């Protein structure tokens, strides 16, 4: 609400972001989170004149407690040693109960807070329709403009939609830990489809090898030779063990994707998800609110009184939406 | 997938549900979860000929570990003692990581599993757009048809959208516990707006009185005399302590809502949310998929190549959607 009240100097902010000014980058991502009316102008400016090649985008996801933040922090160190400029987006749905808590682990990334080559941002999207699908690509555009070579998207939620957001990355890393009893279950439930690289973190604990073996077996069952075969690594992110192998696997996956067009296909998917989310948000605005006398109000009354079923009410709204003006 | 393959005899299922056949009710709610194509016919049949007065709908929400399932179970016992027929919906977003776990607490409700006057159902909605907003009202229609006097909606997720689903109930109970350190924080973050009755559960622990006092103070700050003043109760749901007072508070809230039209306003809001979710799902189907040569594909390519910004791409899609045929 406050952010909407402040005026936005779009050219100034976009110029600042292009110069790598962290405050301009932060402000632009705040506009993305708030779905600010000036975003349309911001995105037009960013799309029209790209700053350079797009950043490589790596998604990290996994159940709570698996060490996502620690792994992200270790990856930042590894990529900084290669002199890459890095953006980090920690994405979580806003929760009125645990707002701070879901993102509370950010402390592990404080090591990098003073490094001007690292831009870290937690993003909480309110229950907006398609909020994550819209805001993640838009935040990536901002980080691209700021000259990031690489963006890590860490999804903190446990829901399907957070996993899907990680899946909007070029490469998705799925983290599991031994003894959580859900390695195989997770795989069954669809995580196999989204993971390009699997990491059994906390590999100094009992059962790491068994979890890795289970995962490899499941991958074998569905693997087709023309596809990328997701490696299953073991790591102890807190000590850095296995992080070099992870960086290497990410590099291999990028080479594979570039060689066969998969990278373009994935970026196309991300653009499509962004367009779809923006379209649905526009439809939602046109449906309007439940003010007395509004069309939605009339239809809701008819449904409530049993004069109309909800599907026919939706048909009526669709017909009334008509083309854009 | 399996469910789509089986044929659906709509009149048979609807008739079965009206006779209180638990298998018919379960099957219909499965159709709701799966967004089955026959739902349109099911809802038309249910809306056209209501079985009786609509069930009272009570939402329960709160952070993990606060005792939602225990409280739900205690409420079931209390309402069964009043000879009410009860439906329970435990709603959670599907998670590939914790699928079973989020809903694992259902065991506490097993006491009621053999009671033919109680229908308990866990609903996990995949990351569908507006899936919770659509499926909750639809499941309520099924339980209404089955003659439920009362439906308890327990939301198991921690996100904003689960809280909003609880807010689609006639009366929303927000559970908190002492010593979780988030009583006041939760209130700040918007839970105050959605709660009609607050329960500080586990009130035999230190700090219960302080949490209740904090909540009452915050309620006083925003209270207006013409509005319902949410009571703040203390309970130990595991022993049944305070549950009688909760039932009484729920009854008082219902009387207040009925006397001033608020009950109708809330049910109107629920119908509107359902219509909106169905409309957006229809738009999403019309946008179609990212097949080569599709309109969405062309637009995504243009955005990817920097020839178009995503907002203008969304404008194009909107114009193309046109009216329903």
The two most distant CA atoms of chain A are separated, in Å, by 67
pLDDT at B249 over 70: yes
Closest Cβ opposite residue B296 in set A186, A272, A300: A272
pLDDT at B245 over 90: yes
Q: Give DSSP secondary structure letters for B242-310.
A: THHHHHHHHHHHHHHHHHHTHHHHHHHHHHHHHHHHHHHHHHHHHH----TTSHHHHHHHHHHTTSS-H
Q: How far is the alpha carbon of B158 from chain A, nearest alpha carbon, in Å?
A: 6
CA dihedral B122, B127, B132, B135 (to 10 degrees): -70
**Alpha carbon distance A140, A159 (integer Å):** 21
Residue-level pLDDT at A101: 41
Of the two residues B112 and A98, the one the predictor is more confident about is B112
pLDDT at A131 over 80: no
Q: How far is the alpha carbon of B99 from chain A, nearest alpha carbon, in Å?
A: 8
Closest Cβ opposite residue B160 in set A93, A280, A311: A93
Of the two residues A121 and A82, the one the predictor is more confident about is A82
From chain A, pick out residues whose CB is under 8 angstroms from the CB of B312: 44
Is residue A325 very low, low, confident or very high in pLDDT (cuts 50, 70, 90)?
A: very low
**Alpha carbon distance A245, B161 (integer Å):** 39
Are A319 and B319 within 8 A, CB to CB?
A: no
Q: How many CB atoms lie within 10 A of CB A165?
A: 28
pLDDT at B169 over 90: yes
Name the residue among B13, B61, B63, B62 with its Cα closest to residue B36: B13
Instruction: Give the chain A residue nearest B38 (alpha carbons).
Output: A311
Are B129 and A129 within 8 A, CB to CB?
A: yes
Are B47 and A264 within 8 A, CB to CB?
A: no
pLDDT at A103 over 50: no
Q: What share of chain A is helix, strand, coil (3-state, %, to 5)?
A: 55, 15, 30
Q: How many CB atoms lie within 10 A of CB A18?
A: 18
The average pLDDT across A240-266 equals 97
pLDDT at A144 over 90: yes
pLDDT at A104 over 70: no
Q: Tokens 């069954």 label which residue? A: A188
- Cβ contacts from A onto B, under 8 A: 247
Is residue B29 very low, low, confident or very high in pLDDT (cuts 50, 70, 90)?
A: very high
From chain B, pick out residues whose CB is under 8 angstroms from the CB of A189: 95-97, 99
Tell me the pLDDT of chain A averaged across its residues.
85
Q: In this structure, are residues A117 and A188 in contact, taking their beta carbons and an 8 Å threshold? A: no
The average pLDDT across A1-18 equals 77
| A52 DSSP assignment | S
| A119 DSSP assignment | E
Q: What is the ipTM of this complex?
A: 0.88
Please give the C-alpha separations between residue B13 and each of A138, A143, B179, in angstroms, as whole numbers.
Answer: 46, 53, 47
Q: pLDDT tens digit string along A289-319?
A: 888 889 999 999 999 999 999 999 999 998 8
Q: Give DSSP secondary structure letters for B186-228.
A: HIIIIIHHH-SEEEE-STTSTTHHHHHHHHHHHHHHH--TTS-
Closest Cβ opposite residue A97 in set B94, B186, B283: B186
Q: How far is the alpha carbon of A105 from chain B, nearest alpha carbon, in Å?
A: 17
Residue-level pLDDT at A135: 87
Are B185 and A100 within 8 A, CB to CB?
A: yes
Closest Cβ opposite residue A276 in set B127, B287, B304: B287
Q: Give DSSP secondary structure letters for A194-227.
A: H-SEEEE-STTSTTHHHHHHHHHHHHHHH--TTS
Q: pLDDT tens digit string along A200-241?
A: 999 999 999 998 998 898 888 888 888 899 999 999 999 999
Are A43 and B311 within 8 A, CB to CB?
A: yes
**Alpha carbon distance A30, A21 (integer Å):** 14
Tell me the pLDDT of chain B averaged across its residues.
85
**Site from A10, A96, A195 to mutate, B interface, most B CB atoms within 10 angstroms:** A96
Are B159 and A95 within 8 A, CB to CB?
A: yes
Q: In this structure, are residues A220 and A198 in contact, taking their beta carbons and an 8 Å threshold? A: no
Q: pLDDT tens digit string along A164-206?
A: 777 789 999 999 988 765 555 555 556 778 899 999 999 999 9
Q: How far is the alpha carbon of B288 from chain A, nearest alpha carbon, in Å?
A: 9
The average pLDDT across B224-229 equals 88
Residue-level pLDDT at B181: 56
Q: pLDDT tens digit string along B48-99?
A: 777 778 999 999 998 878 899 899 999 999 999 999 999 999 887 666 665 4
Closest Cβ opposite residue B314 in set A137, A189, A279: A279
Is residue B108 very low, low, confident or very high in pLDDT (cuts 50, 70, 90)?
A: low
Q: How far is the alpha carbon of A297 from chain B, nearest alpha carbon, in Å?
A: 7
Residue-level pLDDT at B105: 46
Residue-level pLDDT at A182: 52
Q: Give DSSP secondary structure letters for B129-153.
A: TTHHHHHHHHHHHHHHHTT-SEEEE
């Amino acid at each position: 609400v406050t952010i909407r009240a402040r005026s936005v100097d779009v050219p100034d902010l976009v110029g600042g972001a292009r110069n790598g000014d962290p405050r301009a980058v932060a402000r632009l991502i705040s506009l993305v989170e708030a779905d600010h009316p000036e975003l349309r102008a911001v995105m037009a400016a960013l799309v029209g004149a790209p700053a350079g090649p797009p950043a490589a985008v790596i998604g990290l996801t996994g159940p709570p407690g698996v060490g996502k933040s620690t792994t992200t922090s270790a990856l930042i160190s590894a990529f900084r040693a290669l002199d890459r400029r890095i953006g980090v987006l920690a994405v979580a749905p806003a929760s009125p109960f645990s707002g701070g808590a879901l993102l509370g682990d950010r402390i592990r990334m404080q090591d990098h807070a003073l490094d001007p080559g690292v831009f870290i941002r937690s993003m909480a999207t309110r229950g907006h329709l398609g909020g994550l699908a819209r805001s993640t690509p838009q935040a990536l555009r901002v980080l691209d403009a700021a000259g990031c070579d690489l963006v890590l998207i860490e999804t903190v939620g446990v829901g399907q939609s957070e996993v899907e957001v990680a899946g909007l990355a070029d490469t998705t890393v799925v983290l599991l830990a031994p003894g959580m009893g859900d390695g195989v279950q997770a795989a069954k439930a669809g995580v196999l489809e989204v993971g390009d690289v699997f990491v059994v973190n906390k590999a100094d604990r009992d059962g790491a090898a068994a979890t890795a073996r289970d995962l490899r077996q499941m991958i074998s069952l569905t693997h087709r030779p023309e596809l990328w075969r997701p490696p299953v690594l073991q790591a102890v992110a807190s000590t850095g063990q296995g992080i070099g192998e992870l960086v290497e696997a990410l590099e291999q996956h990028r080479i594979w994707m570039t060689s066969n067009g998969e990278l373009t296909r994935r970026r196309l998917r991300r653009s499509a998800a962004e367009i779809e989310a923006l379209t649905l948000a526009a439809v939602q605005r046109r449906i309007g609110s439940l003010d007395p006398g509004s069309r939605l109000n009339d239809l809701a009354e008819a449904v409530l009184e049993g004069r109309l079923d909800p599907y026919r009410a939706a048909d009526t709204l669709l017909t009334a939406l008509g083309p854009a003006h």
